[in-house]
Structures are given as C-alpha cells and as structure tokens.
Amino acid sequence: MFRSLSLLLFAAFVALAASAGTKRALIVGVGDYAQLPDLQKTTGDATGYADVFSNDLGFEVTRLIDPTTVGFLEALDGFLQSIEPGDEVAFIYSGHGWSDGADNFLAFSDAPLESSEFALRHQTISLSTGVLAEIRARKPAVLFAIIDACRDNPFDTGTRSVTRGMVRQEIVPGTLVVYAAGARQRALDRLGPDDDSPYSVFTRSMLPLLKKANVPLQFSVDEVRDEVSALAQTIEHDQRPAIYSDISAGFCFARECQQKMVADQETVDWIYISSDGYTQLDVCEKYRRHLEKYPEGRFAAVAKRNLANPPCAETRLRLKQAAWYADLQGHSDDIYGLDYSPSGRFLASASADNTARLWVVGMGPNTFGQSTVFEGHTEPVMSVRFSPDEEYIVTASKDDTARIWRATGGEAVRVLRGHTGDVNYADFSPDGDRVATASSDGTVIVWDVSTGDKLFTIAGHEQAVRSVRYNPEGSRLVTASNDGRVRVWDAGTGAEVRTLESLEVPATYAEFSPAGDRVIVASADHRAHIWREDGDPLVLTGQNGPLYNATFSHDGEMVATSADDRVAWLWDAENGAQLAQIQDLGAFGADWVAFSPDGKMLAVAMKGADLQLWQLTFEDAPVP
C-alpha cells in the first residue's frame, strides 16, 4: 500500500557549463526480487519516467528492469563511458533501498533477505559514492536524479522488525533535492486498494510537471509538494515532500524558461528558508523571521502553524531532570509490558521468559525491589495489568491464553481460553468485573472475571489486534491493530462507535487519557498521535524506530513513548514539546514505558531484560 521510509530523492545538479551537450538518462525499475518483497509500482514508475525523458525532454534513454547487482554495474559502466563533459544527465531509480545511518544504498533484484549490515554494504550499491559521484566525475552540465528507494526496510533484523529510512545527503551548490515524504513520513504507493494508477502518488504528481520543460523546476517541485500532501490527506495520511534547494528560482530544463513564472520575493524567501537544507538558522527561528517580514503574507498561516507545533511549541512543563534511580533484575529475556498498581506501591512486568513479576517499588527501602514470580504460561507473556483494587493482575501470552492471578502470587485463578492466536494484550474494566483481551486472530473477547466465561467477541479488524484498553468510565474500548486501524467500540455491546485512525503501517498501541477526552496512538511509522473528539491530531515526531507503546501520565500532562531506537521519550501532552530522552547506551531499544501514579517515576523496559526506574524532577508547575 505504501512505500514506507520511501525516499524519493529528486536531485538536479547544475554545473557551470554554458551549453549543454547530449541528453542521457539511465532509468532503473526493480520490482521482481528473488528474496526481498516484490514491489508493485516500480516498473510503472520507471516506464513513465522513461517515456517523459525520451518523448518530452529529448533524452537518450537506457532503461533497465529488474537488473541484478552485477547487471546494474555493467550497465552503469557503459552509461558512464558514454557521458561527455557538458552533457545533461539523468539517473532514475525505483526499487528497494536502505541506509546504514551514514549512506544510502540501492538494492537490486538479487539482494539477500538476511545479511549483516557489514555484508549488506558490499552486496548493495552506495547511492552517493557508487552512482552520483561517479556521474559527477564525468563533469556533466546537469545531473538530475530521482531515487525512489525508501520503503520499509526489507532486510530481516530479528523478531521485532527495525525500520530504518534513508539518510539525507548534504546539499551541493546548484542542487535541488526533494524527498517524496518528509522526515519520519511514509511515501504512499497508492491511495487504497481501488487505486489502479500505475504510478506511486509522488510519481503521478511529478510526471505531468516534468513534461513542461520550460516551467522553472522550483515551481514544479513546490506544486508537486502541495499536490502530494493534498492527495495523502484524502486518506488521512501525512506525506509532505521535503525540499533541499540551492538552485536559481528561474532554472528550467528548456533553453528558455517562462519568465512570468519567476516568484515574487516572498515566495523566493519562503522556498529558500523552508528547504530542509537551510541550516543558517534553527527551524523555528526562520519561521519567526518570515512572519516578522511578511505578517500577512501568503505563507503566514503555514509559518504560524509550524510555530504552534513541535519542535517549535513553547515548553509548558519544565522538566529539570530525568535521572536513573534503580535497576530491577530478575527476568531473563525481553520485557514486553509494564503496569504500576493504582497506589504506586507495586510494578508488574511481563516477559519473553514466559513469566510475569510483581515488584515492590513504593513501600520503603527494606522491601524495595523484592518480586513475586507468576509462572504458568508456556510462551512469552506480552502484557500485564492490575485490577483497580490491586487484588489481581491479568496477563496475556503468546500461548493463546490470558490468565488472572492473585497479586499475592500462586497459580492462576482463571485461565481465559477462546482465542485462536497469540493474546497480545489484556485489560481490566474500571470496575474490575470484566477483562478484555486482544489477539493475533483479529478479535477482541470480553470476559466475566468472576466466572471466566466469554461474554461476547468483537470482530472487525483484518489483522492482529495489538492492544485493547477501557476508557475511565468503562463505556468504551479502543483497539490498535496491525491493519493500521484504531477503532473505538461500545464496551457493553461490542458495537463499533468510530474508526479513529487509518494508517498504512501497524498501529501498535492505543489508550485513553485519564480524563477520557483524548486517545493516544503509537505507530510503526515512528510517530504517536494524540486525538481529541474533533480536529486534527497532535503528532509527536522524533523517534528513530517503530513505537511499541505511548502512554499518558496519570494527570494527563505528559506522554512517554517507547521505540526500537534505544530511546524512550517524554513529551508535553498538550503541545507535543519534547521534554527529555531516556537512553541506555548499552541497550538496543525501549520495549515499554509506564508512569508511576504520582508522575515522579518512569519505568522503562529496555531490551535485554533490563528494567529501569527513572526519577523525574520538575522546576515548577506547568505554564498555562
């Protein structure tokens, strides 16, 4: 459905030669992979670009479909030998790609599915040094490149997939670089299952404007950015191409450009400062200065909106310090779920070692860190939750069951059987009379706690349901699913109330705020969304890996997120300001986070059975 992490790099490198020579284009589309997942739109994209460059722009086109790595290198070698100084050169690539954090690599049809990062660097082709630098060394007058290579990381990285997008490259003078999607966004392949266009969303917007050779390229790109953003919004998806620009606003591919298209000064200034490559000022200061110069300008509303959202939102909560407090040791494998008891005296943890534990964390130094082990599950335990009266806990496991235990220990008092797949989450109702369970079989089951009987089943998700949570009143349930949808249900009948969010990647977790007026959603696209009843969500961006959970503090003022990027983050729940990062350099990600009821402690489950407590200290009360 989408090209996640889909970097569509669109670059025009303009040399100083006064006259252009032959126009040459190497266009590559890779969709039929031997080991990696096949791609739907790549061949269509390559064919569309080949037609435009050949028929509308007058290029000599060499087109490659599904080449192997060696096949590509041989074709590239021949292409490089044909380039003469002063030629106008285009390189187009559509297929899988990946990044090691410092460089971008292109994956051809024989790329391996499983390999170490070191080996992958030698089994795929560096975009910057292996392709673009080689072309530039031939001194073309123009190098124009479109690289559509940033989808979900196709390479196997373990039991929980890591998605790493292509990194952005330095801007070269006389260069225009456009990404099909902004940072942490996904570039859509299509707008839904009924979208039969042969092109990706970006390509279908770009091709018609490329045909207009006499239109300044800066205007074409700016128009494409707006069009792609609008198309993505039709399915409630955020995709806004990011522009890196250092070319003249009047540059075009024709010998004569439409001078009437040259921008007014405000537009020129806006294009310049909104480029992601503009680094003279921080991102917020450049919007402030634009507003000072053009308070009623055509881009004033956009500047104001950017200033009102992260990372420019004013810091309300003045977090003085987030300091390590203690380690809780006892589990022997990754910890997948955490929950503080309502009183804050206990912390429960669920682990891949097939056990849950209850830790004493708020009853004095003599008992701190003591734990009770809950054994009985035969597969990893995915979640754990306290009952409202702290008398019981409920666990969910990959052994297809949920179990209710007395908090004092012992064997399970109820074993809830009925799902036909992993049970990923279980939650008590606020009155403690019911338990709702979410399963990989795509359903939610509501159970009677006193008898263990199944009350009703909720079906509606198309893939695994990752979480289910009650609202504070117990009248609603919210579910998050691998089908990308977050849905709200009537907790008494199981009837669907609304679909809150529809993503192109898994929604990994969702919960209500303590007041019940908001829902926070964690997503595999590296972001969290805070939804109110009306209006657009507040988007929390900045983490560098798929999110596992996102949770409100008990007063609703803060949010914490966990992700597969070694870091847990703290946020202002009202304006999205980033407050702090919780990081253990020896760990490989944060599997789960949970606030203590008083908001003074954050429990963080780091990968590798490492359960940590971090103490939060604030300077003063929140700024209104």
pLDDT over 50 at 357, yes or no: yes
What is the signed CA dihedral for 189, 191, 197, 200, rounded to 10 degrees? -20
| DSSP-assigned beta bridge partners for residue 449 | none
pLDDT over 80 at 265, yes or no: no
In a domain, 566, yes or no: no
Please give the tally of structural domains in the chain: 1
pLDDT over 70 at 588, yes or no: no
Neighbour tally for 484: CB within 10 Å? 22
In a domain, 374, yes or no: no
In a domain, 220, yes or no: yes
pLDDT over 90 at 374, yes or no: yes
Stretch 420-431: mean pLDDT: 97
The token pair that represents 320 in the structure block: 């003085």
> Quick one: pLDDT at residue 261?
46
Cα 306 from Cα 312, distance rounded (Å): 7
Cα 324 from Cα 471, distance rounded (Å): 31
In a domain, 508, yes or no: no
DSSP 200-213: -HHHHHHHHHHT-T
> Quick one: pLDDT at residue 587?
52
pLDDT digits (tens, 9 = 90+) for 331-352: 999 999 999 999 999 999 999 9
CATH number at residue 91: 3.40.50.1460
Among residues 319, 253, 224, the alpha carbon closest in space to that of 558 is found at 319
In a domain, 517, yes or no: no
pLDDT digits (tens, 9 = 90+) for 230-260: 888 888 777 777 776 666 667 777 877 775 4
Distance from chain centroid for Cα 108: 24
Cα 582 from Cα 323, distance rounded (Å): 9
The more confident residue out of 30 and 218 is 30
Lowest mean pLDDT among 61-65, 304-308, 321-325, 487-491: 304-308
The answer for residues whose C-beta is within 8 angstroms of residue 91's C-beta and 6 or more apart is: 25, 26, 27, 131, 132, 135, 143, 144, 145, 146, 147
Among residues 190, 192, 180, 84, the alpha carbon closest in space to that of 138 is found at 84
In a domain, 449, yes or no: no
The more confident residue out of 106 and 247 is 106
In a domain, 529, yes or no: no
Domain span at 160: 2-262
Label each residue of 402-415 as H, E or C: EEEEECCCCCCCEE
What b/e sequence results for 185-200 when a residue is b if at least 16 CB atoms lie within 10 Å of its CB, and e otherwise? Answer: bbbbbbbeeeeeeebb
Cα 489 from Cα 477, distance rounded (Å): 5
* 85 cis-preceded (ω within 30 degrees of 0): no
pTM score, whole prediction = 0.56
- Is 273:265 a contact under the CB 8 Å cutoff? no
Neighbour tally for 514: CB within 10 Å? 15
> Quick one: pLDDT at residue 276?
52
What is the signed CA dihedral for 110, 114, 119, 121, rounded to 10 degrees? 60
pLDDT digits (tens, 9 = 90+) for 141-181: 778 888 777 544 555 432 222 233 455 555 555 567 777 77
Strand 2-3 relative to strand 187-188, pairing: antiparallel
Segment (H or E) for 79 = helix 69-82
Among residues 415, 8, 52, 409, the alpha carbon closest in space to that of 213 is found at 52
In a domain, 268, yes or no: no
Cα 431 from Cα 391, distance rounded (Å): 12
Q: What is the mean pLDDT of the chain?
A: 83
Dihedral sign computed on CA atoms, order 63, 68, 74, 80: positive
- End-to-end distance of the chain based on CA atoms, in angstroms? 42
**How confident is residue 271, by pLDDT bands cut at 50, 70 and 90?**
low
Among residues 251, 229, 189, the alpha carbon closest in space to that of 43 is found at 189
Extended beta strands in 364-422, E state = 371-375, 381-386, 392-397, 401-406, 414-417
> Quick one: pLDDT at residue 18?
35
Among residues 308, 271, 272, the alpha carbon closest in space to that of 288 is found at 308
Among residues 521, 578, 580, the alpha carbon closest in space to that of 552 is found at 521
pLDDT over 80 at 62, yes or no: yes
Lowest mean pLDDT among 177-191, 406-420, 498-512, 520-534: 177-191
